[in-house]
Structure 1
Amino acid sequence: MHIAIATDAWFPQVNGVVTCYQHLIAELSKQHTVSVITPDDFHTIPNPLYPEIRISVVTRRSIAKKMDLINPDAIHIATEGTIGLAARSYCLKNKKRFTTAYHTRFPEYLNELMFIPTFIGYAICKWFHSQADTMMVSTESLATELEIKGFNNTSIFPKGVNPELFKNYKTESNTYKRPIFLYVGRVSKEKNIEDFLQLDLPGTKVVIGDGPLRTSLQDKFPDVEFLGYKFGPDLALAYTNADVFVFPSLTDTFGMVMLEALACGTPIAAYPVRGPIEVIGDSEVGILSRDLRQACLDAINIKGDICKRHAKKFTWKESAENFVKNLNI
């Protein structure tokens, strides 16, 4: 089967959506042909809120030319950006079936960043996804939540974890005072990172990632180690060296960085909200509490072996199988 995936999120962006499709496409390509329509295919301009994220300038003619050249058996629209909108328009005009995915809580993000009421954001999302054969979501509980809000075409598309992270990376000696509390992700308002940075914790706080708040937060929290982006073995080593992975977000639909931390044997401290609940469940690999500081302190005692065992339950093979099933071709 030839699958076309249209996505506004792509390299060099660093986020969970890009990571998801990177590993999904690698798994799908073992049995199928996959063509990806990305910002690399178009002229782009900087996003006013996040200059490192480029907005693609897409016309109906340009997306049609690419789709007609690919001539796929299935079309999946990964994001609600300009590429996603153009791909959706193409499918509706040409009576092509398509699927979409709900990766990001845009209504909450728009409310947090631009003060747009969430009901408006959800109305936009329902308009975007309603014409799809199915809207893929990470978990059953997220599907139930969205169905209550009026989304009636959900299906489950579970996420996996990079198997390379299961390698036994040796912890390196460093000058950081232990315990080490680690955050990995975008340094931005919607990630609620400041809740973590302002905690009174022993040892060292380490932040891996970048974003619009990095400079101001570095000035505000001079004792925090901001290391920028890390990838591959360097990132896995950072996970392994940490004593606790802290996930302060209140809005993520899943949170793949938590799986990556667990795969490296690092327990989780987070709030008891949708993303962490989905990843941790009723296991003993993390502490979920409204008191994030206490969660961080309690998580130190969790053994790394049980974290690794839990992470191995999430595979990209299973994810790809569900994805293909949801295409319903």
Structure 2
Amino acid sequence: MRIAIVTDAWSPQINGVVSTLVATRQCLRNAGHEVEVVSAAGMKTFACPTYPDIRLACNPYRKVASILENLEPDCIHIATEGPIGLAARRHCLKHGLAFTSSYHTRFPEYVRARSLIPMTLTYRWLKWFHGPSKAVMVPTPGILRSLEKRGFRHLVLWGRGVDTGLFRPAQVDQTGIARPLYLYVGRIAVEKNVEDFLRLDLPGSKWVIGDGPMREELQRRYPGVRFLGARNNDELVPYYNCADVFVFPSRTDTFGLVMAEAMACGTPVAAYPVDGPLDVVSHGRSGVLDHDLERACLAARQLCRKAVRLHALQYSWSAATQQFLANLHLARTAQGGEAAQSSLA
């Protein structure tokens, strides 16, 4: 099949959405499919409000429409709800083209954390955006149930994977590290709730990998924490292996791919018992989920790293991509049924 993946999130951004799309594209190509990514590359962009490191396309409709017309894809997947995604949605509706979409992040909660906009308004807008989608792909059963309660339709699962060949236990130089070592990897932004981790009174040391709008402020306020900046995937492995516990303080993530990466290296997770960790972490085996994050961190240190690694092996990009393909076929079948009904009318 010829597949178009439309996204506002793409390289050089470093986040879970980009990692997911890169891995999915590779798996699809390995299976013989032709995959083209439609992103803001080569377009005029502007800085995302409150997040200047993320560039968004400015008035991209003509460019996106031209790309899709020339590509003539069998399937169109709209991965994000930004300007590029909106342009593709408009093009598909204008020309009667079926498309699938995905819900990667709790956008309403993020907007509420950064502004005074009520979540009800943002969820209403998201329902409008995803309403025409033949299949709205979500990463976990918990998120699916949550969106169902809010009236979203055509919800299907699209899980996540981890490269267990890259993210694996390995010996690393651990000299000079004050033990135990607690590690956070991810964006340093208000919606990630990083300060819940930083303010904990834990023995040993805390390291933070990532960048974002709150990094400078938190670095000033917590001088005892080591901030290491952003790292690419292949650079993360030694840090995961150094850590005694991977701390995931977010209450709003839909999956939390970094948790799967840490577990694949044998590093247990400490997190809150909320959507995301509840679906990804096996409590008492690969991590500890507790409303008291400090208690979770201390208890996670006692877990067997081999058992943590075994739990992570269930997360395969191959299996996740098979789900993605099944969802695309579902959309094509739905489109074919509509076309048949139209011809009989």
Q: Same fold (TM over 0.5)?
A: yes
Q: Distance in 2 between matches of 1:239 and 1:282?
A: 19
Inter-CA distance 166–257: structure 2 relative to 1 (3 Å threshold): closer
- Please, which runs of 5 or more residues in structure 1 have no aligned partner? none
Letter aligned with residue 48 of structure 1: P
Aligned to 2:335: none
The equivalent residue for 1:212 is 213
Structure 1 Cα separation of the partners of residues 149 and 89 of structure 2: 24
**Range that drifts further, 227-236 or 101-110:** 227-236
Task: Give the SS at the match of 2:276.
Answer: helix
Q: Secondary structure at the match of 1:29?
A: helix
Contact 2:282 2:311 in 1 (8 A): no
Match of 1:227 in 2: 228
Change (3 A) 1:41 1:97: farther
Output the aligned Cα RMSD.
1.1
Which residue number in structure 2 is paired with residue 321 of structure 1? 322
Identical counterparts, % of pairs: 46
Q: Secondary structure at the match of 2:30?
A: coil
Deviation at 1:141, TM superposition (A): 2.5
Return the letter of the residue paired with 1:319: A
Q: Which residue number corresponds to residue 202 of structure 2?
A: 201
Question: Contact 2:142–2:276 at 8 Å: present in 1 too?
Answer: no
The answer as to 2:78 corresponding to 1:77 is yes
Preserved contact between residue 101 and residue 135 of structure 1 (Cα < 8 Å): yes
Contact 1:20 1:159 in 2 (8 A): yes
Aligned to 2:14: 14
Match of 2:4 in 1: 4
Moved more, 261-270 or 44-53: 44-53
Report the counterpart of residue 44 of structure 2 in structure 1.
43
Counterpart residue type for residue 179 of structure 2: R
Change (3 A) 1:167 1:266: closer
Distance of 1:276 and 1:157 partners within structure 2:
16
Distance 2:30 2:277 in 1: 31
Which residue in the other structure is 1:308 paired with? 309
**Is residue 8–residue 39 contact of structure 1 (8 Å, CA) maintained in 2?**
yes
Partner of 1:250: 251
Distance, in Å, in 1 between the alignment partners of 2:81 and 2:298 is 38
- What residue in structure 2 maps to residue 64 of structure 1? 65
Query: What SS class does the counterpart of residue 36 from structure 2 fall into?
Result: strand
Distance in 2 between residues matched to 1:140 and 1:24, nearest whole Å: 20
User: SS of 1:238's equivalent?
Assistant: helix
Moved >4 Å (runs of 4+): none
Q: CA deviation at 1:283?
A: 5.7
CA distance in 2, matches of 1:18, 1:279: 19
What is the 5 A alignment of 1:1-329?
1-31=1-31, 32-282=33-283, 284-328=285-329, 329=332
Which amino acid is the alignment partner of residue 121 of structure 1? Answer: T
Q: CA deviation at 1:172?
A: 1.2
**1:250-280 deviations in whole A, cap 9, x for unaligned?**
0001100000000000000011100110101
Contact 1:165–1:260 (Cα < 8 Å) also in 2: no
CA contact (8 A) 2:169 2:264 kept: no
Q: Shift of residue 151 of structure 1?
A: 0.5
CA distance in 2, matches of 1:69, 1:264: 43
Q: Distance in 2 between matches of 1:134 and 1:41?
A: 29
1:165 match: secondary structure? coil
Matched residues in 2 for 1:25 and 1:131: separation?
A: 24
Query: What is the aligned residue count?
Result: 329
AA matched with 2:151:
G
Instruction: Please identify, of 281-290 and 187-196, the stretch whose mean Cα deviation from structure 2 is larger.
Output: 281-290
CA deviation after TM superposition for structure 1 residue 310, in Å: 0.6
Is the contact between residue 166 and residue 308 of structure 1 (CA under 8 Å) also seen in structure 2?
no
Aligned 8 A contact 1:161 1:315 in 2: yes
